[in-house]
Structure 1
Amino acid sequence: MIDLHCHLLPGVDDGARDMDEALALAKLAVEQGITHSVLTPHIHLRHYPNTLESLTPHYQNFKRTLRERGIPLHIALGAEVRMAPELLLGNAWKALPKLGKTPDGKPVLLLEMPYSHVPAGTDQLLRWLIGQGVQPVVAHPERNRDVIAHPTLALTLKGTGAWLQGTLSALGGSFGEDIKRVAWELLRKDAYHYLASDAHRIDKRSTRVEHVLSLLAEQMGREVVTALTHDRPWALVASRFI
């Protein structure tokens, strides 16, 4: 698996609390079949005012420690960016960590909506970014309350040209039956461009993904799982690792 959404970088957001937990998550990831991870710490002005400059030393230290401990998880630095005009409009998006590039060279940004609602103007913001030559990815729409009530809203967001990223643990039921129902509905409607772990902590929302991948293979077929967890993600980030 190529994991394009996880919070393993220690001490920078609500993910891994310290280096020991980050290393435990990384070790578990490898055991579960994850070979490459793009670390996506939150960038949220109110709660996590991270920047590429502030995150880079933490990333370099974690990468060095993985190598010293012999944990064969290949990592790169991205971010999960809260949708906010001050972070995205004008040229502000250019300074944000990117996931990777599309096959035709467009930078890919992972974006997060609030859980409470789909803000007015979200579709216009996504279209504006696409007009700037950016490929936006909307993280875990299945956990947004408006989408839970009206799953077709997620398809409307996809209709702007944005991609949607689903969370494996949501499909496994870790967030409750309503979110599981919506996640499976979106999966069966081919709404997701790829799936990711969104791992945070070793004791809750970890990098333990093997059981959900097995369930997906039974329900959807191995080819679908490979496309959503390996082929499509790798197409976006291969140049960052080769």
Structure 2
Amino acid sequence: MAIFSSSWLKLPSNVNKPTPPPRSYRSLSCSSVKDILDLCKSEPETEVLSPRSASILNRIKMSTTVLLRLWTRSVAGQSGCKVPHGDHRVVIYYTSLRVVRRTFEDCSVVRSIIGGFRVPIDERDLSMDFKYVQELEKITGSKDLNLPMVFINGDYVGGVEEVRQLHESGELKTMLERLPVVESKTCDVCGGLRFILCQTCDGSHKLYRQKEGFCPCMDCNMNGLITCPSCSTVG
């Protein structure tokens, strides 16, 4: 019991003394009214750019866009492959799946921008046909695909940011003026989906043969679809 003694039973000597304020409060108590008013001042408003400054920034932005487009084009062309059937048209690799919302929205923006021009457009939906995935992997030389990817006249242009900036600067219109002019209309056969059900297997992607049993249909993709014969050839 000697170890504990009775010291812990005694009242502390400073029990009746006022508790000193925290250090931060003590330092604040020494502050003047002017210091407090300085703390309450709002931040200065953002300086409004002059027309000349805004023009310079736009030029820098356009130059950056061109350099970025040239760099991405060279990256896509490292494998030495050209987009199959990509001449004299715009080829858009995209996805219609909504699994990743950001990717789906980016694809929708690109399709909307390009669709506003009267040019041949070949939209290749990776979610509808796996051959487009393999095709794009061969073109880029990589399995890490960032959709959407836009090619104009066989050359890689970029994704949603590049297309948006080119459109805002007016350069996209200049690039598309070199392509043939076509009338935009919805296909009466596929309704604009560019795919229809396979007539051989009725969309099941399976056929039954008496000797072999069930086997994959060779006329369609794994989704049981074939490219629309009415609008698959663009331009």
- Specify the TM-score bucket, using the shorter chain as the normaliser: under 0.3
Q: Normalized against structure 1, the TM-score is what?
A: 0.23
Q: Normalized against structure 2, the TM-score is what?
A: 0.24
- Structure number having the greater helix percentage: 1
Structure showing greater Rg:
2
